[in-house]
Amino acid sequence: MKNLEAARRKVEELRALIRENDRHYWAEAAPQISDQEYDRLYRELKDLEEEYQLVTPDSPTQRVSGGAIGRVCSNYASHADAELG
């Protein structure tokens, strides 16, 4: 990246792509890109955030993924309720 403004634009673009693909993967169970491509986007975002000090609390690089765990816990609770009911 040549300047901070270009880095900011790229960071926002990458965040949007990652969030969109998180939704496809976790919420819809319908991935649109390969794991390798997702990892490449994530690494590029992380590198830019670090290089240009653009890390924000809402960035995908700052969260603990909870999509699958939320589904697993929900399914487990439903199953446990059925067993107990």
Closest CA to 15 of 46, 36, 51: 46
45 is written with which tokens?
A: 């975002």
Q: Where are the alpha helices (DSSP H) in the chain?
A: 4-22, 35-51, 67-84
- Whether the CB-CB separation of 31 and 21 falls below 8 Å is answered with yes
**Angstrom distances, CA of residue 41 to CA of 26, 70, 80, 81:** 17, 24, 38, 40
Per-residue pLDDT of the chain (85 residues; tens, 9 = 90+): 679 999 999 999 999 999 999 999 999 999 999 999 999 999 999 999 999 999 999 999 998 865 544 444 444 444 455 555 5
